Amino acid sequence: MEEKEIQPAPRTLKATIWKHFGFYRQPGPGKKGLDMTYAICRDCNGKVKYFGNTSNPRSHLERHHPELLVELDNPVKTAPTRPADQRTLHHFEKLPHNCERAKNITKSIACFIAKDLRPYSAVERDGFKFMIKTIEPRYVIPSRAYFTDTAVPELYRETKLKFGEAVAKNATRVALMCDHWTSRATESYATFTGHYITEEWQLQSQVLQTRVMHESHTAQNIHATFHSVAKEWKLTLPDLVIVTDNASNMLAAMQLEENLTHVSCFAHTLNLAAQRALKLNTVSRVLGRIRRITGYFHRSTTACEALKVSQKALGLEDHKLQIDIVTRWSSQPAICAALANPGVRKNNTADTSTLSDTEIKHAEEITMALRPMRDATNIMSEDSSPTLSVIAPLLAQLLHNTGDDSDNSTLVREIKRAIHEDLAKRYSSVKTQKLLHKASTLDPRFKALPFLAKEQQLDIHENPGKADSIPVEPEASPEEGPVPKRRTTSDALVNLLGKTFTEVRVAPKSASTRSEEELNKYLDVPALSLSEDPLHWWKSNERDFPLLARLAKRYLCIPGTSVAAERVFSTAGDVVTAQRSCLSSEHVDQLIFLLAHASSDTCEASHRFFSSCC
């Protein structure tokens, strides 16, 4: 039997249900060509009686195809499409410069300039403009002058204010550090960093200010610059401590202020002592030969490859010879150690200055003699742990080691003697020694002061904070507060024993008594291991030693080196690049400050600010 053809429902039937039903064809034009007695299901060919409405077709779907009915009752609405290049009026509206979104974008661009070390001219470049237009077509980028004169300075002022508030809230004392550097534009600057311990006992180091110094670096000019920075940051004498290198003009500037506490950079002190040893004739001659050999390996790719092959054949690690840096004395013992490498000695050729066996022995002795100095320098370069308290024990140990000439070769004795003579004259003033010994006492690792004579230990332990004016909260007097109700006794007991037994009130302890008791208790506690963190110890024991804890914050925040300020040099070099060499001194100060504070978590308020605006 021939299957009848099902035709779509006529267009006059507009209900969506008719896409699942049709009618059989019959002879005739138009609707007359459809047999509309029955509606035919397109999914199962089922027949339902048609009475001019959708009741029967709907009942059929409910019984046999409920899933199709769900689709009909819940159609997916699609948004009307428009050509891809058709834009609404919204795209042609410009953001008002004072609206919140425009201000946030402008602030984020200022943050981008400061954090990513971009020149102000970046906002005028085609690639940057295209990116901003893609992200927010309605935003109009302000001029370069606006970012130079308004946006970045406003960001600087806001960040500086938040940082200052955080320091005032957290810091018991702020120690200063100062160092000088020269920009690409041959302008001289002095950068000051601040160091303090937070309420959570975290050691923080931050850039405070960068000052241009057009005048000569005399003691008077350095002293005036220092006073100006201290006044701006509200750091007052005699509480002020500053750390500098051992340059003669720096030392002279610090001596102009009697109430100022000055600390010489210990890393610089070690450098001066090591440089004196490196100038010895034998040492200087060996280093000269070594420089020629390392220079040869750096010039010749063939020799460098042969060195790798020899080291691999001997089962040695692949070491590339380094060229020593004049300003970094520690690089010179490193090249001595490298030249003792058997792979290097095997590859000495006629083109190099070959080391004799004696010179190789001297290179090994130089490395051995200077190793304690190198280790001490690495210890003092730590920036997350107190370093002032380490100076006294380290200096005492180095003096002891270099003063012992037993079982040493002639060269080692000469090196040790040169170092000993230089170190012995450092930190010799009574004021400086007291400062260092107090700091060591307040460090639970060194509090026993075993490197001092017994008399000196007793003198320091007597009262390490007697020169510090720390406000001490008085103990609550028994008379203060509400008087508790007393149970009364018979008058007979009072009459009989009243003259003998009188009420004795315990007088509150004086600050000196409390301090002495705390100190004795502190000294009785076992010393902290050298590998542990003294600040973490104080955080855990602050309640047991409240007076000493406040004193510890005042001393342990003082850095023992100017390494933190010297690290700003690399930052400053990134800020004052070839594209930024014409920056004014004011903008150099702002950008170095913003970069330092945007890339660290030292100031919680400042960090939150950058996180929100960037």
| pLDDT of 269 strictly over 90 | yes
Which pLDDT does position 9 carry in this prediction?
A: 86
| pLDDT of 613 strictly over 50 | no
Residues 166 and 65 in one domain: no
User: End of a domain among 36, 52, 73?
Assistant: 73
| pLDDT band, residue 476 (cuts 50/70/90) | very low
Residues 457 and 551 in one domain: yes
Which pLDDT does position 436 carry in this prediction?
A: 95
List pLDDT tens digits, range 541-588: 999 999 999 999 999 999 999 877 676 655 555 555 545 556 788 888
Distances (CA, A) of 267 to 109, 196, 334, 376, 377: 39, 20, 17, 8, 6
If one counts the domains in the chain, the total is: 4
Q: Which of 599, 333, 556 is nearest to 444 (CA)?
A: 556
Residues 337 and 419 in one domain: yes
pTM as predicted: 0.72
Q: Is residue 552 part of a domain?
A: yes
| pLDDT of 268 strictly over 80 | yes
User: End of a domain among 428, 449, 482?
Assistant: 428
| pLDDT band, residue 3 (cuts 50/70/90) | low
Q: What are phi and psi of 316, to 5 degrees?
A: -100, 160
Look at the alpha carbons of 97, 100, 102, 107 in this order and tell me if their dihedral is positive or negative.
Answer: positive
Which pLDDT does position 32 carry in this prediction?
A: 73
Is residue 398 a contact partner of residue 415, using CB atoms and an 8 Å limit? no
Top pLDDT among 582 and 437 is at 437
Helix (H, G, I), strand (E, B) or coil at 150: helix
| pLDDT band, residue 448 (cuts 50/70/90) | very high
Top pLDDT among 210 and 488 is at 210
Q: Which long-range contacts (CB under 8 A, 24 or more apart) does 133-138 make?
A: 136/95, 136/101, 136/105, 137/91, 138/90, 138/91, 138/93, 138/94, 138/95
Residues 399 and 444 in one domain: no
Indicate the residue type of 114.
A
The secondary structure of 594-608 as a DSSP string is HHHHHT--SSHHHHH
List pLDDT tens digits, range 22-63: 888 887 776 677 888 889 998 888 899 988 888 898 889 888
Distance in angstroms (rounded) separating the CA atoms of residues 223 and 237: 14
Q: Can you give the C-alpha Rg of the chain in angstroms?
A: 41
Residues 337 and 387 in one domain: yes
Q: Is residue 338 part of a domain?
A: yes
Q: Is residue 551 part of a domain?
A: yes
Q: Which residue has the tokens 């004169």?
A: 149
| pLDDT of 609 strictly over 80 | no
| pLDDT of 480 strictly over 50 | no
Provide the terminal-to-terminal Cα distance of the chain, rounded to the nearest Å.
78
CB count, 10 Å around CB of 429?
9
List pLDDT tens digits, range 371-423: 999 999 889 888 788 999 999 999 999 999 998 777 778 999 999 999 999 99
User: End of a domain among 400, 428, 456?
Assistant: 428
Look at the alpha carbons of 601, 605, 611, 614 in this order and tell me if their dihedral is positive or negative.
Answer: negative
Q: Is residue 463 part of a domain?
A: yes
Q: Is residue 195 part of a domain?
A: yes
| pLDDT band, residue 86 (cuts 50/70/90) | low
| pLDDT of 538 strictly over 70 | yes
Distance in angstroms (rounded) separating the CA atoms of residues 570 and 578: 14
Q: Is residue 417 part of a domain?
A: yes
The Cα angle at residue 391 between residues 386 and 394, in degrees rounded to 5: 115
Q: Which of 405, 406, 404, 402 is nearest to 394 (CA)?
A: 402
The first and second tokens of residue 215, run together, are: 């005048």
| Residues contacting residue 435 through CB under 8 Å, at least 6 positions apart | 261, 263, 388, 555
Which pLDDT does position 424 carry in this prediction?
A: 94
Look at the alpha carbons of 518, 386, 376, 249 in this order and tell me if their dihedral is positive or negative.
Answer: negative
Question: Which residue range(s) make up the domain with 207?
Answer: 155-216+232-240+576-613
Which pLDDT does position 183 carry in this prediction?
A: 80
| pLDDT of 85 strictly over 60 | no
Distance in angstroms (rounded) separating the CA atoms of residues 155 and 388: 34
CB count, 10 Å around CB of 207?
26
The overall longest dimension of the chain from CA atoms, in Å, is 138
Sheet arrangement for strand 188-197: 203-212, 188-197, 175-182, 241-244, 261-264
Is residue 294 a contact partner of residue 323, using CB atoms and an 8 Å limit? yes
Which pLDDT does position 336 carry in this prediction?
A: 56
Residues 319 and 421 in one domain: yes
Distance in angstroms (rounded) separating the CA atoms of residues 518 and 541: 12
Residues 443 and 592 in one domain: no
Distance in angstroms (rounded) separating the CA atoms of residues 558 and 491: 64
Residues 201 and 291 in one domain: no
Which pLDDT does position 552 carry in this prediction?
A: 95
| pLDDT of 469 strictly over 60 | no
List pLDDT tens digits, range 129-184: 999 999 999 999 999 999 999 999 999 999 999 999 888 888 889 999 998 888 87
Distance in angstroms (rounded) separating the CA atoms of residues 26 and 312: 95
**What mean pLDDT comes out for the span 294-317?**
76
Average per-residue pLDDT for the chain: 81
| Structure-derived torsion over alpha carbons of residues 108, 110, 112, 115, reported in degrees to the nearest 10 | -120
Which pLDDT does position 24 carry in this prediction?
A: 86
Residues 165 and 281 in one domain: no
Residues 210 and 181 in one domain: yes
Q: Is residue 588 part of a domain?
A: yes
Residues 159 and 307 in one domain: no
| pLDDT of 252 strictly over 80 | yes
Residues 201 and 280 in one domain: no
Lowest mean pLDDT among 136-150, 293-307, 352-366, 478-492: 478-492
Is residue 561 a contact partner of residue 267, using CB atoms and an 8 Å limit? yes
Q: Is residue 110 part of a domain?
A: no
